[in-house]
DNA sequence: TTCGATGCAAATAGTTTGCATTCTA
DNA sequence: TAGAATGCAAACTATTTGCATCGAA
């Protein structure tokens, strides 16, 4: 299965309020945990556990990779974080409030993040046809981007 | 990136013709290679490298996992096989001619395989909106299946 | 002062690679 | 019989787990 978190997704918009929420739920606010939150919210796009452990390449203090994974799991269970996969390679993590869905070009590898509203028509069509309530947050829509399609137009 | 094969997908429909095609291209037809093809074509749905190495649970002779991976890579390069991912867990392999696309329920984990034609409307809408030529062969459309949606209706 | 959380090390899963040996063409 | 492919072992990447120690509440 794909979606592990138990509660609903929570839309806290910064590391500070995420931290408060954890405390309100009786969880301890350790340095490693605070760092994971800061890294997640500081990043413009989803990051890997390794990048978080490395403190986003030195911009933040580093922490242990095992703790990062443990904290990401906990944050996901609490609906503060979600993870996704874009192609192969390590899983990526984003704050739950980071509402983006993805298109991935299988030719040039480019990832395009779009606002969920842009996919509502697609979602609706899928719901009609299959009764399936779709999202492209976890896995991207794979295919050929406009540019690569053109490149293959004539032979 | 996601799609590694170089040539176009080839629609051979059985292990025998796939084997002939390999020979015609000057590749050797070893026992392990023949077995991989037989396993792939014998299976009703995509199988993992491990399942192939195990001879589909004993129905076929087993072969070495490393050779299975090497052969799958080669078969993919030759457009005879493709691989895909349904949720977490090992990658899955199918004959290139196995034209199915997938819907995955993130709640109950059920995978639904559909004929590509059923998704042409969706594909068209995505092409209009994004200029992206989509396929759901490699990653499934994740979401809530009809059944799980109902279960969440009220409450 | 007590558990929850950490850090380190080792284990696990999936996949890839090196190399001597085997076998196909 | 030459070189392609194999089998086995080791390496590698991503992730998880065990356990003694540490630290937040």
Q: Please determine, for residue B8, whether its predicted confidence score (pLDDT) is greater than 70.
A: no
Phi, psi of A65, deg, nearest 5? -60, -40
Above 50 in pLDDT, residue B2?
A: no
The pLDDT mean for chain A works out to: 92
Of A108, A122, A136, the CB nearest to B125: A122
Q: pLDDT value at position B155?
A: 44
- Cβ atoms of A40 and A51 closer than 8 Å: no
Average pLDDT over residues B97-112: 95
Q: In this structure, what token pair is assigned to residue A40?
A: 């997640």
- pLDDT-derived band of residue A111, with 50, 70 and 90 as boundaries? very high
Percentage of chain B exceeding pLDDT 90: 86
| Tens digits of residue pLDDT in B117-131 | 999 999 999 999 999
- Whether residue B47 is predicted with pLDDT greater than 80 in this model: the reply is yes
CA B6/CA B34 separation, integer angstroms = 22
Give chain B's length. 155
List all residues 6 or more positions away from A109 whose beta carbon is below 8 Å from its beta carbon: A87, B1, B2
Does any CB of chain A come closer than 8 Å to the CB of residue B109? yes
Closest CA–CA distance from residue B26 to any residue of chain A (Å): 26
Asked whether strand C has any atom less than 7 Å from the CB of A154, the reply is no
Average pLDDT score, chain B? 92
In angstroms, the Cα distances linking B29 to A70, A147, B22, B56 are: 47, 39, 7, 20
| Mean pLDDT confidence for A65-70 | 98
Q: How confident is the model at residue B1 (pLDDT cuts 50, 70, 90)?
A: very low
Instruction: Report chain C positions within 7 A of protein CB atoms.
Output: 4-10, 13-18, 23-25
pLDDT at B57 over 80: yes
Range in A5-9, A21-25, A38-42, B23-27 the model is least confident about: A5-9
Q: For the whole model, what pTM was predicted?
A: 0.93
Q: Which of A85, A125, A131 is nearest residue B146 as measured by Cβ atoms?
A: A131
- At residue A1, the pLDDT reads 38
Say whether residue B84 is in contact with chain A using an 8 A CB cutoff. no
Question: How far in angstroms lies nucleotide C5's C1' from the CA of residue A7?
Answer: 22
* Mean pLDDT for the stretch of residues B24-48: 96
Strand C at less than 7 A from CB of B49: yes
Confidence label for B151 from pLDDT (cuts 50, 70 and 90): confident
3-state secondary structure of B50: helix
Which tokens sit at B80?
Answer: 């005879």
- Residue A154 above 60 pLDDT? no
Q: How far is B23 from chain A (nearest CA, A)?
A: 27
How many inter-chain contacts (A to B, CB under 8 Å) are there?
114
Predicted local distance difference test score (pLDDT) of residue A8: 63
Residue B77 makes CB contacts below 8 A (sequence gap 6+) with B4, B5, B6, B7
Residue of B106, B143, B146 with shortest CB distance to A1: B106
Q: Which nucleotide is nearest to A71 (CA to C1')?
A: C5
Per the listing, tokens 């649970």 go with B57
Q: Give the pLDDT score at A75.
A: 98
């Amino acid at each position: 299965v794909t979606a592990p978190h138990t509660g609903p997704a929570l839309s806290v918009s910064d590391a500070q309020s995420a931290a408060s929420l954890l405390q309100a739920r009786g969880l301890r606010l350790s340095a490693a945990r605070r760092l994971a939150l800061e890294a997640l919210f500081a990043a413009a796009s989803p990051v890997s556990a390794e990048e978080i452990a490395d403190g986003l390449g030195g911009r933040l203090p580093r922490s242990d990779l095992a703790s990062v994974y443990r904290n990401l799991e906990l944050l996901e269970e609490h609906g503060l974080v979600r993870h996704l996969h874009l192609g192969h390679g390590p899983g990526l993590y984003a704050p739950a409030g980071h509402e983006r869905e993805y298109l991935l070009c299988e030719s040039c590898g480019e990832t395009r993040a779009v606002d969920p509203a842009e996919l509502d028509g697609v979602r609706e069509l899928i719901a009609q046809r299959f009764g399936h309530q779709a999202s492209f947050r976890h896995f991207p829509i794979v295919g050929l981007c406009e540019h690569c399609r053109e490149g293959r137009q004539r032979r």
